[in-house]
Structure 1
Amino acid sequence: MSVKSLYIKSDFKREKEPEPFENNLEPEDYRSSWRRDYARLIHAPSFRRLQGKTQLFPGVESDFFRNRLTHSIEVAQIAKSIALRINYNYNKYGKPRKKKEKSLGISPDLVEFAGLAHDLGHPPFGHQGEEALDECMMEYGGFEGNAQTIRLLTKIEKKFKVENSGFIDGKDKRVGLNLSMRTIASVLKYDRVIPENKADRLEIAKEGELLPVKGYYKCDESTINNVKSAVLNNSPLPHGQFKTVECTIMDIADDIAYSTYDLEDGFKAGFISPMDLLFPSATLMEMVVEKVNRNLVKESISKVLTKDEVSDIIRESILPIDGSTIIDGYSKEDLGEYFLDFAGSIVDLQYRTAKLIAGDGSIRTGFTSSIVGRFIRGAKLEFNKDQPALSKVKLDDSIRIQVEILKTFTFMSQIASPRLKIAEFRGKDIVSKIFNTLDEENGYNLLPDDVQKVYKEANGAYKKRIICDFVSSMTDRYAIEFYGRLISENPETIFKPF
């Protein structure tokens, strides 16, 4: 049986070839292309800065909870586990594998890279920071986290010394980490150009929403076209359908990590209790059901859930502590006569179990670990024999529904909570103020020297993109310090470097 290879020669192409080896170092034939790219990411400043960016709870208040860096490490581990499972279960033809057959061969290094890199482009203060920059850039190509990730890897990060700050005749010729084409593709989640102005965005906006559009920037379109051409070996593909198998695995892993570990942090912080999952308010349940059903449509799952069905899934599959075993074996007469006693025992069991899950670290970790393990085991392959690189890894419908419920419940009950909204709102104001100040006449003089050089080489509206790059790269703490230098009566000392 003949089948196209999962990886082809052009996957390994790089924008800058051949790469120079400084100090006469010998080529690294002992290390794969993916492993080299992985190492470049680990040593990149943008990767280190993830430790200073908010995941759920502001890092400046506690160092216990997850930040973008620890979240990314968890996503990478889950993604790698999914890849290993798919390789173990499927042969190179995409069919169930027998023990002696060759595995599908997805690169664990490449999948791990995608997990580690997927949040690089997130600005300070999470979604509010993203909205602030998108509003500032509305007429100049917008801002979006995944688009910025692509930009960091292919333009902003510094791997090789460049002349004229990387610009030739006003055009940005920087190559970032100079990654392999397939590596860049592993983090390209959305195959769409973000509209360059408000008028164009209104044409695709739903109900007048102008929230950040998922996609990549128009200014980076040639880079993306090169990536798609290499991975597809110049084969045609309708716009909007490009997503590699490694990227689909990373996407699933991100959802799994987000839906479980953010919930775990919420339990520890006291923002939410397992009892809130079992007995949510009517308003919260309505919002969860509505959003879950919208997301299931996007996942091509033709099932519309009711409130009762969502509640049953939570109690039976996610948090099975309904106490029903207490009444097993009793007659209807006994149940009727001792109803209040039985009801009290069930409530007592639910309360104490919920308190243990939220308050005991080992039990709480075991709870999330078991859920993650079950979700990983729900991954399956949809093999694309014409373009193996575009094969998809998906979750079984029943597991996908559980992930959506848990993910949505976590978002609605915590991220949308007033206490976190207040912190995010302040963050949005900080990001907007910094951008607008730097964008004023001569505001670029406040930029660090190396960024100023790039700014001066850029043409016209692209200067705003350079400012946006700088602001989005800030950690939460650095943004607060920079903001303080602009408006505070007691700013940071001038001897503290940018």
Structure 2
Amino acid sequence: MKWDHLVNDKRRRESGVTRYKSSDIRSAFENDYQRIVMSASFRRLQDKAQIFPLEKSDFVRTRLTHSIEVSTIAKSMGNMVTHKISEDNIDAEFTYEDAEKIPEILACTGLLHDMGNPPFGHFGEESIREWFKINLSKIKYNGKALDHLLTQQMKQDFLYFEGNAQVLRVVSKLHYLFDEYGLNLTHATLNSIIKYPVSSLHINKTQIKSKKLGYFYADEAIFKEVTSATGAFNHRHPLTFLLEVADDIAYLNADLEDGVKKRIVSIAQILREFEETPDHNWVTAAVYGELKKKNIRYAGQEESFIAQQWLASNVRGQLINRALEEFYKNYQAIMAGEFNQSLLEASEADQLVQILQNLSAKYIYTDPGVVESEMAGNKIISSLLDSYIPAVLYYDSPFPERFSAKDNRLLSLISDNYIGCYRKNAATEDEQMKLYLRLLLVTDFICSMTDSYAKDLYHKLNGLN
């Protein structure tokens, strides 16, 4: 892979009028950034929970604040990487123009990376997968079960449903800005958000690039177009490794910080987790030592202040620096598409990451408020799928007599943009593909919902308001 292709700032639809106006001095990626920030899909993230149920406290993160943090960390890492590559002459073909573009691309991808997630956190994705696992063999269309009517890839798109793959749909199709190209972002930005450049048929959890599906069958043409334009093809874009690190660092730090603020986990419990981990390497020992010092130095202060100080001044820096060491060490393998680990897992910070993950799993993800929210979210999403999947089966089908007045009213609540997207993409397709696209229409609709809207719609449809 070559940087001059990887940072391709062309768009799927170029506008010769607006792009080259002399009065517009923005770079293509600054333009991407503005389109993202001003989009409704980005604004909706303010009403989607990160981990904890949405509440009045401004301290606890939402998907919106998490995404801003990821964007900030990713951009900072991009600046560090470009400086290192240039100063140490790691890549003789790396240019000043490449260096200018990389931080801007990463700032955009940080904002985008969670835009496809359904309401109620990552458990929302699991709820969708579970529903289809149970119901694909039960629900019938024209007398045949859905799992007998769809191709293997179509079925697996739902059985392995991923918010990451949904991001590509949102920004390239569903978010109607001017036309059917969605936000019409640059090829480099689109490619960098594809964390897993494989279809649902090629999931292989032993390799980082294929742990999950990266695009739906309906979006395969877009995937091929974008990855051909950047020269990444079926390899991970190098900037995706950095985006992944930024996301991991943001959630590892934020979940723990929010947990201490809410008094779900204490400094003593954090220290104990370190002490119960045998054979500290130098990174773990250094971070643990700093927490002990801060706990003594700031004795009497709020524990959330101590945690915030420690995470900001010690943990975050170690994670960033150790991950970047791996990026430089494995630079040639990354550029060749041959590096098959996450940077943090391969680094000397791996033990620290495990401790932070264990703390969240032990104290935060099992908190009653979090579990109650997930269970409520599962009930809401399952109920909406119960209503909407049967309702779309005979819409735009050869059997209009089976499309009821109730079905029609349910569909009237789906965004006109999404209905229009379906009709445009289904216009020339056969009945099998149309059926698959109608099922995607429902998951598109649910993923677009905020936590509050999903809850309110559930209440209204079930007569609870």
Task: Report the TM-score range of the alignment, normalised by the length of the smaller protein.
Answer: 0.7 to 0.9
Q: Is the 8 A contact 2:174 2:421 kept in 1?
A: no
Aligned to 1:57: 52
Once the 2 structures are TM-superposed, how far is the Cα of residue 155 of structure 1 from its aligned partner? 0.9
Q: Is the 8 A contact 2:195 2:236 kept in 1?
A: yes
- Correspondent of 1:444 among 411, 414, 418: 411
Aligned equivalent of 2:178, options 143, 149, 160: 160
Task: Mark the runs of 5 or more structure 2 residues left unpaired by the alignment.
Answer: 137-154, 392-406, 427-433
Mean Cα displacement is larger for which, 253-262 or 273-282? Answer: 273-282
Compared CA separation, residues 472 and 9, structure 1 to 2 (3 A): closer
Q: TM-score, normalised by structure 2?
A: 0.76
Partner deviation per Cα, 1:141-194 (whole Å, 9 max, x = no partner): 222110011111111111214xxxxxxxxxxxx321111111101111011112
- 1-structure distance, mates of 2:186, 2:291: 48
Distance 1:85 1:487, change over 3 A: same
Q: Distance in 1 between matches of 2:249 and 2:123?
A: 23
Instruction: Classify 1:357/1:216 alpha carbon distance in 2 versus 1 (closer, same or farther; 3 Å).
Output: farther
Retained in 2: the 8 A contact 1:7–1:389?
no
Matched, 1:8 2:1: no
RMSD: 3.6
Measured after TM superposition, the shift of residue 82 of structure 1 is: 1.0
* 1:92, distance to aligned residue in structure 2 (A): 7.7
Which residue does the alignment assign to 2:33? 38
Superposition map of 1:135-284 within 5 A: 135-138=130-133, 140=155, 141-142=157-158, 143-161=161-179, 174-195=180-201, 213-232=212-231, 239=234, 242-280=235-273
* Kept in 1: contact 2:190–2:226 (CA 8 A): yes
Q: How many residues align?
A: 403
Matching residue of 1:309: 279
Distance change (3 Å), C-alpha of 1:275 and 1:67: same
Partner of 2:118, secondary structure, is coil
2:283–2:349 CA contact under 8 A, matched in 1: no
Contact 1:128/1:424 (<8 A) preserved? yes
3-state SS in 1 of match to 2:278: helix
> 1:121, 1:146 within 8 Å by CA — same for their partners in 2?
yes
Instruction: Indicate the residue corresponding to 1:375 in structure 2.
Output: 319
Contact map agreement 2:415 2:445 (CA 8 A) in 1: no
Q: Deviation string for 1:251-291 (max 9, x for gaps)? A: 11111111112111110001101211222499xx7xxxxxx
1:13 Cα deviation from its structure 2 partner: 3.0
C-alpha distance in 1 between matches for 2:67 and 2:110: 6
2:309 is matched with which residue? 366
Q: Could you tell me how far 1:398 is from its partner in structure 2?
A: 1.6
Pairing 1:109–2:104 present:
yes
Q: Following the alignment from structure 1 to structure 2, what is the Cα–Cα distance between the partners of residues 415 and 311?
A: 27
Distance in 1 of aligned mates of 2:173 and 2:76: 30
Determine if contact 2:284/2:349 at 8 Å carries over to the other structure.
Answer: no
Q: Deviations over 1:300-328 (max 9, x none)?
A: xxxxxxx41369975642354558xxxxx
What's the CA shift for 1:454? Answer: 4.3
Identity %: 30
Is the partner of 2:30 in helix, strand or coil? Answer: helix
**Contact 1:92 1:103 survives alignment (8 Å):** no
Q: Which residue type is aligned with residue 444 of structure 1?
A: L
Cα distance change on mapping 1:60 and 1:35 into 2, 3 Å: same
- How far, CA to CA, are the matches of 1:111 and 1:10 in structure 2? 11
Partners of 1:182 and 1:313 in 2: CA distance: 34
* One-letter amino acid of the counterpart of residue 184, structure 1: L
Aligned equivalent of 2:439, options 452, 464, 486: 464
2:414 partner amino acid:
L
In structure 1, the gaps of 5 or more residues are 162-173, 207-211, 286-306, 324-348, 491-498
Q: 1:432 to 1:213 in 2, by over 3 A?
A: farther
Structure 1 residue 452: Cα displacement: 4.1
Q: Separation in 2 of the partners of 1:122 and 1:14? A: 24
The 1:94/1:480 distance shift into structure 2, 3 A limit, reads farther
Say whether the 8 Å CA contact 1:68–1:119 is kept in structure 2.
Answer: yes
3-state DSSP class of the match of 2:53? coil
The answer (yes or no) to whether the contact 1:51–1:70 under 8 Å persists in 2 is yes
Q: What is the deviation of 1:369?
A: 0.9
Map 1:49-128 to 2 at 5 A: 49-60=44-55, 62-91=57-86, 94-95=89-90, 105=99, 107-128=102-123
8 Å contact from structure 2 (residues 198, 215) kept in 1: yes
Equivalent residue number for residue 417 of structure 1: 367
Task: Select which of 8, 14, 17 maps to 2:14.
Answer: 17
135-144 or 371-380, larger mean C-alpha shift: 135-144
* TM-score, normalised with respect to structure 1: 0.71
Return the alpha-carbon distance in structure 2 between the equivalents of residues 418 and 30 of structure 1: 51
State whether structure 2 residue 457 is matched by structure 1 residue 482.
yes
Q: Quote how far apart the aligned CAs of 1:444 are.
A: 2.0
How far did residue 435 of structure 1 move?
2.2
CA distance in structure 1 between the partners assigned to 2:222 and 2:167 by the alignment: 13
Q: Describe the shift of the 1:157–1:415 C-alpha distance in structure 2 as closer, same or farther (beyond 3 A).
A: same
Looking at structure 1, the residues matched to 27 and 217 of structure 2 have their Cα atoms a distance apart, in angstroms, of 32
Give the 3-state SS of the residue equivalent to 2:449 in structure 1.
coil
Among 400, 424, 429, the residue aligned to 2:379: 429
Cα offset, 1:125, TM superposition: 0.3
The alpha carbon displacement at 1:416 in A equals: 3.4
**Greater Rg over alpha carbons, structure:** 1
Query: 2 CA distance for matches of 1:352 and 1:383?
Result: 39
> Judging changes above 3 Å, is the alpha-carbon distance between structure 1 residues 408 and 147 closer, same or farther for their aligned structure 2 residues?
farther
Q: Supply the AA of the counterpart residue of 1:368.
A: L
Matches within 5 A, 1:330-341: none
Confirm or deny: 8 A CA contact 2:45 2:450 kept in the other structure.
yes
Distance 1:355 1:308 in 2: 30
- Provide closer, same or farther for how the CA distance between residues 387 and 12 of structure 1 changes in structure 2, counting only shifts above 3 A: farther
CA contact (8 A) 1:314 1:320 kept: no
Aligned equivalent of 1:341: none
Distance 1:10 1:83 in 2: 13
